[in-house]
A and B are shown apart, each in its own frame.
Chain A
């Protein structure tokens, strides 16, 4: 472990990720018609690259680097974070795309290292997720357009979570059938991610079908079904997970109704934000009290107020998805604004927990 980056060295990486998150939220707000300060010199079209190419890539790569405990692995979040900074600083999009591509390649190398330490379906799924991120970033770098990268980026995020949840499901009695179904679902998602120019319309449905099947698998197999009966933080995490899986299913259904991941359709915006906000940020909210202490060595004691951002998130995503599907732009903007409020509440709540954790004596985590 001596080659690991000391905890204070991880803070700037997290700050880079948070800058991308802040700018990404502002870009998203402006795009949805809310008057908000500009996201530095970034364009509103940089919303997706800031949120996924920069923010999520940075924090997930950071988590993987901490797990590996090797200094070189921290170059992955550094590159991803600098890519976000390049967008905020108004550098050409190609610079950000190149940095993001380099970061994702390093994440893939780190994920292969994890797989070599433990050759299992869950570590393979994480590596495939990292490979999907590489694919999306290379499409972005090659100038194929952001929307061409979107399915690969979603695959990265969804497979990363799926791999982690599969890993934890090993505590439950083993089911060979469940593992085989999981492997089929991952395959369907990955094949559905591949761009097939001029391919049959039905092929475009593979991706949302895979997402829907994954949501059902998670709802059925995740250990959260058991831990939701426990108390305090354990229960909160399970509630985040189970409600998030609901949004994954809703998002997949929206994309199915739209005929695939087709930009410009109503189902595209509703489906993407059900998955990337409702599902993904519920996962973030649930994992933060565990991940922050692991990365920074700070404590995040449980408090029932942790539920507040989660409730606002679910309400705002519901408002946004329904307003989008019903063609009500004003309500859609209100939903978008509330999405941002939920994320701001989460960040404020996390900071408050860190301060509270520093004041409380050790051993009173409320778990």
Chain B
């Protein structure tokens, strides 16, 4: 299961020479935020033209909710 399907990617703002991504964690008690931000930065950097400035922000507003998961994720976790 990827973080897009889990509803953790809130916003992607591409601009000339710059791309900004807002992601969240399911809970602020999760210690993996730092690591996932780094991994997201590395994946986005590989997907955009070289030289593009990539900024990944960890945000808490709005707090994550299970309703933010994709149809695919919900089916995976047994939702009707």
Interface residue ranges, A against B (CB under 8 Å): 1, 4, 63-64, 66-69, 111, 114, 117-118, 120, 122-123, 126, 163-164, 167-168, 170-174, 223, 226, 290-291, 293-295, 297
8 contacts between A and B (CB under 8 A): A1-B58, A114-B29, A120-B63, A123-B27, A172-B77, A223-B77, A226-B78, A290-B32
User: In the complex, which residues of chain A have a beta carbon less than 8 angstroms from the beta carbon of B69?
Assistant: 171
Contact A67 B28 (CB under 8 A): yes
With an 8 Å Cβ cutoff, the count of chain B residues facing the other chain is 22
10 shortest A-B CB distances, which residue pairs? A117-B28, A66-B31, A294-B31, A67-B31, A118-B63, A294-B32, A171-B77, A114-B29, A114-B28, A173-B79
Is residue B70 contacting chain A, with contact meaning CB distance below 8 A? no
Contact B29 A167 (CB under 8 A): yes
User: Which residue from B27, B37, B73, B77 sits with its C-beta under 8 Å from A122?
Assistant: B27
SS of A interface (majority)? helix
Inter-chain CA distance A167–B30, complex, in Å, is: 10
Closest CB in chain B relative to A260 CB, distance in Å: 31
User: In the complex, which residues of chain B have a beta carbon less than 8 angstroms from the beta carbon of A111?
Assistant: 29
User: In the complex, which residues of chain B have a beta carbon less than 8 angstroms from the beta carbon of A117?
Assistant: 28, 60, 63
Closest B residue to A62 using CB positions: B31
Identify which of residues 26-41 in chain B touch chain A, using a CB-to-CB cut-off of 8 Å: 26-35, 37
Closest B residue to A7 using CB positions: B34
User: Which residue from A123, A171, A223, A293 sits with its C-beta under 8 Å from B29?
Assistant: A123
Inter-chain CA distance A257–B60, complex, in Å, is: 46
Closest A residue to B57 using CB positions: A1
User: In the complex, which residues of chain B have a beta carbon less than 8 angstroms from the beta carbon of A164?
Assistant: 29
Can you add 5 more A-B contacts, CB < 8 Å, to A1-B34, A123-B28? A1-B37, A64-B29, A171-B66, A295-B31, A297-B35
Contact B66 A170 (CB under 8 A): yes
Closest A residue to B65 using CB positions: A170
User: Which residue from B26, B34, B77, B78 sits with its C-beta under 8 Å from A69?
Assistant: B34
Inter-chain CA distance A297–B42, complex, in Å, is: 14
Interface centre among B28, B33, B69 (most CB of A within 10 A): B28
Closest CB in chain B relative to A284 CB, distance in Å: 14
Contact A118 B34 (CB under 8 A): no
Contact A67 B77 (CB under 8 A): no
User: Which residue from A120, A173, A291 sits with its C-beta under 8 Å from B78?
Assistant: A173
User: In the complex, which residues of chain B have a beta carbon less than 8 angstroms from the beta carbon of A174?
Assistant: 66
Contact A63 B31 (CB under 8 A): yes
Closest A residue to B60 using CB positions: A117
Q: A4-B34, A69-B34, A117-B63 are in contact. Are A167 and B79 (CB under 8 A)?
A: no
User: In the complex, which residues of chain B have a beta carbon less than 8 angstroms from the beta carbon of A290?
Assistant: 32
Contact A67 B63 (CB under 8 A): no
User: In the complex, which residues of chain B have a beta carbon less than 8 angstroms from the beta carbon of A294?
Assistant: 31-32, 34-35
Closest CB in chain A relative to B31 CB, distance in Å: 4
User: In the complex, which residues of chain A have a beta carbon less than 8 angstroms from the beta carbon of B27?
Assistant: 114, 118, 120, 122-123, 167
Contact A126 B34 (CB under 8 A): no
User: In the complex, which residues of chain A have a beta carbon less than 8 angstroms from the beta carbon of B58?
Assistant: 1
Identify which of residues 4-60 in chain B touch chain A, using a CB-to-CB cut-off of 8 Å: 26-35, 37, 58, 60
User: In the complex, which residues of chain A have a beta carbon less than 8 angstroms from the beta carbon of B64?
Assistant: 118
User: Which residue from B26, B34, B66 sits with its C-beta under 8 Å from A66?
Assistant: B34
User: In the complex, which residues of chain A have a beta carbon less than 8 angstroms from the beta carbon of B79?
Assistant: 172-173
Q: A118-B28, A123-B28, A226-B78 are in contact. Are A293 and B35 (CB under 8 A)?
A: yes
Inter-chain CA distance A215–B31, complex, in Å, is: 25
Contact A167 B80 (CB under 8 A): no
Inter-chain CA distance A69–B28, complex, in Å, is: 10
Contact A173 B80 (CB under 8 A): yes
User: Which residue from B32, B35, B60, B77 sits with its C-beta under 8 Å from A118?
Assistant: B60
User: Which residue from B28, B29, B63, B78 sits with its C-beta under 8 Å from A172?
Assistant: B78
User: In the complex, which residues of chain B have a beta carbon less than 8 angstroms from the beta carbon of A163?
Assistant: 29
Interface centre among B34, B66, B69, B79 (most CB of A within 10 A): B34
